[in-house]
Structure 1
Amino acid sequence: MNKVGFFKSIQFKVVLIYTLLILLAMQLIGVYFTDRLEHNSLETFDKSMENQANLLSYNISEAIKEVNQKNTTDQKALINSIQDQLNEVRDMVDVQVIDNNGTILGTTSQDQSIVGKRTTNDQILADLMNSNGYKRQTLYNKDTKTRVMDATIPIKIGGDKQGLLFMEKSLDSVYDNLRGINQILATATGIALLVTAVLGWYLARTITRPLALMKRQALAVSQGDFSRRVMDYEDDEIGQLAQSFNNMTERLQEANATTEAERRKLRSILAFMTDGVVATDYYGHVILMNNRAEQLIRVYRQNALGESVLKILKIEDEYSLEDLYNMKESLILDFSTDFQQLMVRVNFSVVKNEGNNGLIAVLHDVTEQEQIEEERRDFVANVSHELRTPLTTMKSYLEALLDGALDDRALAEKFLGVAQTETDRMIRLVRDLLQLSKLDSRDESIKKERTNFITFFQAIIDRFEFSKTQSIEFIRKLPKRAVYVSIDPDKMTQVIDNVISNAIKYSPEGGSITFRVVTKGQHLVVSIKDEGVGIPEENVSRIFDRFYRVDRARSRKLGGTGLGLAIAKEIVNAHSGDIWAESEWTKGTTISFTLPLSRRGDGV
């Protein structure tokens, strides 16, 4: 935030306002005071001049009366008597005595030549004719370039008007006094303004300092610092504002802490969700994506932010943004690669935020569900097919028997034998299915016993070697010492029987089957290798799937249900082991499985 300039600050404005107010008040007071002082001074000056005029008029009238009592007609004696009275006058610019004829009888002017001559002053002549009392006026004397006050008063003797007394006095003393007083007032105004500015400065500081602190605190709060507080100076409006600001800061701190906690919770939830979440703005641009979404759609978050959600979901050719806003059903999207199958279900929901809508896309990995659903469909189809084939065969033979083949004993026995064989195959199929169902639901009990696996394995091999009809060599590569494992003998016998049976079925005449047992770490590894036709490489990983056959026709002919290896896998897994196949086309197949060694057993 930029610093406020001095001339724009509240402190300067407060000082300026206070100073202007004081200046205005002093000016108004000065104007009124000067006006009244001038009026009173002129009024006092006027009264003083009137008193002087009355006194001088009286003295002159007495002097004239005295001359007249001497019964002299000497004009010069009269002028001298009047002049004697005028000589006593002080502080006058000019004083003249004029008789009724307008002749000047005396003057205080240095120009005494005007005495005995008729006056030329029109105002004096007018007052001589019309005025019967004291009369004055203020004029500007062009000769002396000063303001003067002229006054006229009749000279009376015994009530008769004998002439006119004219007086002119300078007003410089009055206005000099006024100027002095104005100067004092101006100086006082200047001092008052200076004092006001200083006091206003400190007064403004009491207001602006808390405001400045609040400004700094507001800036700190905007930057996330809630630790600062404004000092409460007084219990006034500013103090209450500071207290309210501190309370607001505390509430903001609490709200921010709550929001931050919720944000951390949301961040943690998004980070560790098993579902992917993608959020967009109104225009469909990605603004948020969690880790799981990155994994599901295989796009880095930094590359996805700002991109269209249609693009990152790879649906821009099938859907528009408006379609997503109106979509109620979920989408199943295929993000599979050559190395991994991945199916994702996407649900879209609209987020409304004060008129600025957006989208939330929730991504859920449904690969396993889709695989289970596909396996279920395949399972139903395979069971239906496996049951339909023997049922169709039995139906055909039974129809043939009903059509007359029953009369031919040899043919009837053959047909019934085929029906019995197919019935046995269906029974085996149903039995294997029931066993698989129990293994899947963990209802099949595993009764483990501590068993010497070498002796156990030798007995099974001996049984098969004794009952085999082909010319197949059994090669045994087994340890000489006992190796103990914890197994269910019946279930493990079923596993080994199935693997050896398959090896014998697919081994050529004159071939061999190799039996090997070794220990690796804490596990026993059992291998059974034949020299049959083998399994194509692309099919090796699928031979443990239910109903899977490499050669369906041959397997069915040999009496297999396609469930033997699937059951074997479930039993081995129930023993905490693992089973796998290794094969090369035309060179035979090796089936291997592991079993945990018994803790009390002896290693090999």
Structure 2
Amino acid sequence: MSSYKYRLILPLSLIILIVLASLGAILGPLFKDFYLEGMNDRIAKESLVIAYHIEDIELNETEVLQNTVIELAERLDIRITIIDAEGEALAESTGNLEDQDNRLSRPEIQEVIKNGAAGRSVRVSNTVNEELLYYAIPLEDNGEVKGYLRLSLAMDELNSVYQSIWTLLIVSFFLAFVIIVLLTTKITNQMVKPVEEARRVSNELAKGNFQARTFDVSDYRTGELNRSINVLAENLQQITNTYEIQQERLETLIENMGSGLILINTKGDITLVNRSCKDIFDENTDQWKNNLYYKVIKHKYVNKFIQEIFLSEKRTRRQIKIPVGIYFRHVDVHGAPIIGHDEKLKGIVLVFHDVTELKKLEQARKDFVANVSHELKTPVTSLKGFTETLLDGAMNDEKLRKKFLTIIANESERLEGLISDLLELSKIEGDHFQLNWQKVNIESLVADVLLILNDKAIVKKMRIETKILGDTWVEADPHRLKQVLINLIVNAIAYTPEEGVITIRVKEQAETVLMEVEDTGIGINKKEIPRIFERFYRVERARSRNSGGTGLGLAIVKHLAEAHGAKLSVDSDIGRGTVFRLVILKEKKESKSM
């Protein structure tokens, strides 16, 4: 606002200064001439009075003349000088008659001599060294000039008046300047301030502050402008809020989508990479941003896929295997070019769908069908073979008949167990499966299980040891937890050679109870541990089938452990044995059922 004020003050001040200076230049001489004319009238009248008083005094009566001059000068407040015809001063009201120059050369005396009438001049006196107004008239006797009467008045009063005029003009200028500043301030506040406020709000809007508003909307000259700016600010704020909400939703969607997303510009720099890429590539992909893709992505097939899209500028899809540790992650990659409105390539977008689990499920389905077919085929084939043998005449041999019927009974029991486990597993995996929660003492549960399985251990001359420490009460389904314990111990008996040792440990912890089933069996290869809970997966198929198992026991254990919210883990060494650990909460959480 100050710049607008100065733009008004400077021209107005200059105009006032010029006007007042012009007035001073015009009025000064006018006042001087007017005042000087008055002084001339006064001095002319006083000269006649003085001439009248000294006309009877002879010029040679210098003492009388001097006293008369002094007296008249004091009364009239004027300087009086009597000069003879030769120019010598005969009387001087100042009393200074010594070292006087000849007065005939003075301008006023010369004018009297020349014109025979009064003479005037304004000059600096050599005697008193100040500016004076001189007036001289001739002193005549019978028409003959016998001398001159000269009067003089100081010009101080005239100069003082002249200076007062200029002082008045200067004071007027400063008063006018103050008034101009006050008026200009008021004008700028009324006219420029609303414009300045509008400019301020416009600058804030340009900076992105769409909450800025102008509140000076009452002035009829700028009110409409300010109202329009406020409407513009509100519209911009609404547009910005809508954009920010959409941007936030888009960012949330991108960050939380299950698929990996990468944007690459035409220079090859990665401009966007979402959170899912961390899991897919098993790397800190945040560091990929603003880097060339081929410098941060270490997978050659992915880089080759990116180059193919840049070259073809067409949508492309491919399945790629990405190594993660000792495994591979199967990824379905969709790539597409980003084409702008000008039909020019702006970059490419890549979407990574992790289909590893789908691959596993597909393989599990194939394995399940093959395993079920194989597991069912074996007992059915045995049943059919021995039945046909009996029908062909073996029934007449009592010894063979008994042997074959025993085999048929065992295979039927095995087939029944397989079908029962399949139905049980299907039930556990069902959406409506519920646990019967109640307080269970694991120590008592272990004792009940050992009564059931003790005969199996005796057949293989095994020793089963138990170690119980602390309070072993938990909240669980006793039937299902007993089923877990039976399957783990049966598995240990099946894969432990004769005269082996099985150790069952139950230990109270802070909020959980730890159960361990350890054997001295054949052990499991580290690579096979992740698969032992799959249906029909066997470490040693021939030996496992001879053990009488269905291949579904550990799969049932896994699902029941998950239903209880328990943590199941396995440690094993080839030739030394295996330890199954189950950590179960003492008190169930709200969502323990499947």
TM superposition score normalised by structure 1 = 0.55
CA deviation after TM superposition for structure 1 residue 591, in Å: 2.7
- Residue correspondence of structure 1 range 114-133 to structure 2 within 5 A: none
| In structure 1, distance between residues paired with 2:434 and 2:244 | 53
Q: Look up the SS of the partner of 1:559 in the other structure.
A: coil
- Call closer, same or farther: CA 1:555–1:466 in 2, change over 3 Å: closer
Q: Could you tell me which residue of structure 1 aligns to residue 486 of structure 2?
A: 497
Are 1:534 and 1:589, in contact at CA under 8 Å, matched by a contact in 2? yes
Residue identity over aligned pairs, in percent, reads: 30
**Secondary structure, aligned partner of 1:315:** helix
Bigger Rg, which one: 1
Which residue of 538, 542, 562 corresponds with 1:553?
A: 542
Which deviations, in whole Å up to 9, do the C-alpha atoms of 1:217-259 show, x marking residues without a partner? 65554332442659789867x9867765664454334333432
SS of the residue 1:335 aligns to: strand
Q: Is residue 485 of structure 1 aligned with residue 474 of structure 2?
A: yes
Query: Are the structure 2 counterparts of residues 303 and 537 from structure 1 closer, same or farther at C-alpha, using a change threshold of 3 Å?
Result: closer
2:141 maps to none
For 2:355 and 2:528, locate their aligned partners in 1 and report how far apart those are by CA, in whole Å.
25
User: 1:256 is matched with which residue: 222, 240, 260?
Assistant: 240
2-structure distance, mates of 1:323, 1:310:
19
1:548 deviates by 1.8
The superposition leaves residues 86-109 of structure 1 with CA deviations (integer Å, 9 ceiling, x where unpaired) of xxxxxxxxxxxxxxxxxxxxxxxx
Distance 2:382 2:257 in 1: 54
2:55 aligns with none
Indicate the residue corresponding to 2:515 in structure 1: 526
Secondary structure of the structure 1 residue equivalent to 2:565: coil
CA distance in 2, matches of 1:466, 1:291: 55
1:486, 1:597 within 8 Å by CA — same for their partners in 2?
Answer: yes
Of the three residues 290, 296, 301, the one matched with 1:305 is 290
| Whole-Å separation in 1 of the counterparts to 2:449 and 2:199 | 92
The residue that corresponds to 1:375 in the other structure is: 364
Query: How many residues are paired up?
Result: 400
Q: What SS does structure 1 have at the residue aligned with 2:502?
A: strand
Matches of 1:249 and 1:569, distance apart in 2: 62
Matching residue of 1:279: 263
TM-superposition CA deviations, 1:538-588 (whole Å, max 9, x none): 333433322121111111012111111221232233333233333222222
Aligned partners of 1:406, 1:322: CA distance in 2, in Å?
78
- Change in CA separation of 1:444 and 1:211 when aligned onto 2, cut-off 3 Å: closer
Which deviates more from structure 2 when the two are superposed, residues 371-380 or residues 218-227?
A: 218-227
Residue correspondence of structure 1 range 12-411 to structure 2 within 5 A: 220-226=204-210, 227=212, 244=228, 247-281=231-265, 286-297=270-281, 298=283, 300-305=285-290, 307=292, 312=297, 314-318=301-305, 320-321=308-309, 325-327=313-315, 330-338=317-325, 342-348=329-335, 351-355=338-342, 356=344, 358-398=347-387, 400=389, 410-411=399-400
- The change in CA–CA distance for 1:341 and 1:232 in structure 2 (over 3 A counts) is same
Distance 2:478 2:262 in 1: 53
Give the distance between the partners of 1:209 and 1:478, measured in 2 at CA: 88
Structure 1 partner of 2:415: 426
Structure-2 change in CA distance of 1:210 and 1:282 (3 Å):
farther
What is the alpha-carbon distance in structure 2 between the residues aligned to residue 309 and residue 326 of structure 1?
20
What is the alpha-carbon distance in structure 2 between the residues aligned to residue 595 and residue 571 of structure 1? Answer: 11
Specify every segment of 5 or more residues in structure 1 that has no aligned partner in the other structure, as ranges. Answer: 1-10, 16-201, 600-604
RMSD: 4.3
- The alpha-carbon deviation at position 438 of structure 1 amounts to 0.7
Instruction: Quote the Cα distance in structure 2 between the aligned partners of 1:377 and 1:239.
Output: 79
Distance in 2, Cα, partners of 1:575 & 1:250? 57
Report what 1:513 is aligned to: 502
Q: Please state whether the residue corresponding to 2:498 is helix, strand or coil.
A: coil
Comparing 583-592 and 294-303, the one that deviates more: 294-303
8 A Cα contact 1:280 1:309, kept in partner: no
Q: 5 Å matches for 1:457-472?
A: 457-465=446-454, 468-472=458-462
Compared with structure 1, are the counterparts of its residues 402 and 291 closer, same or farther at alpha carbon in structure 2 (3 Å cutoff)? same
Q: TM-score scaled by structure 2?
A: 0.56
- 1:217–1:230: 8 Å Cα contact kept in structure 2? no
For residue 433 of structure 1, report the CA deviation from its aligned partner.
0.9
CA distance in 2, matches of 1:487, 1:241: 75
Match of 1:596 among 581, 585, 588: 585
The SS at the match of 1:524 is strand
Structure 2 CA distance, aligned partners of 1:392 and 1:452? Answer: 44
1:540-579 equivalence runs, <5 A: 540-579=529-568
Which of 464, 471, 488 in structure 2 is aligned with 1:474?
A: 464
Give the distance between the partners of 1:510 and 1:568, measured in 2 at CA: 26
Check 1:547–1:252 CA distance in 2 against 1; reply closer, same or farther (3 A cut).
same
Secondary structure (helix, strand or coil) at the match of 1:580 reads strand
C-alpha deviation, 1:344, in angstroms: 3.3
Structure 1: how far apart are the matches of 2:540 and 2:312?
48
In the superposition, relative to structure 1, how do residues 499 and 332 fare at CA in structure 2: closer, same or farther (>3 Å)? same
SS in 2 for 1:544: coil
569-578 or 244-253: bigger deviation:
244-253
Structure 1 counterpart SS, 2:302: coil
Distance 1:210 1:309 in 2: 57
The secondary structure found in structure 1 opposite 2:304 is: coil
Contact 2:310 2:348 in 1 (8 A): no
Q: 2: distance between equivalents of 1:417 and 1:478?
A: 41
CA distance in 1, matches of 2:198, 2:467: 90
Q: Give 3-state SS (helix, strand or coil) of 1:364's partner.
A: strand
Quote the Cα distance in structure 2 between the aligned partners of 1:225 and 1:466: 83
User: What residue ranges of structure 2 are gaps of 5+ in the alignment?
Assistant: 1-6, 12-183, 589-594
Q: 1:215 to 1:324 in 2, by over 3 A?
A: farther
Give the residue type in structure 1 aligned to 2:247.
R
Distance, in Å, in 2 between the alignment partners of 1:370 and 1:235 is: 75
Task: Give 2:159's aligned residue.
Answer: none
Aligned with 2:324: secondary structure?
coil
CA contact (8 A) 2:260 2:280 kept: yes
**Does the C-alpha gap of structure 1 residues 511 and 288 become closer, same or farther in structure 2, counting only changes over 3 Å?**
closer
Q: Which residue of 2 aligns with 1:176?
A: none
* Contact 1:310–1:316 under 8 Å retained in 2: no
Determine the C-alpha separation between the residues in 2 that align with 1:295 and 1:531. Answer: 38
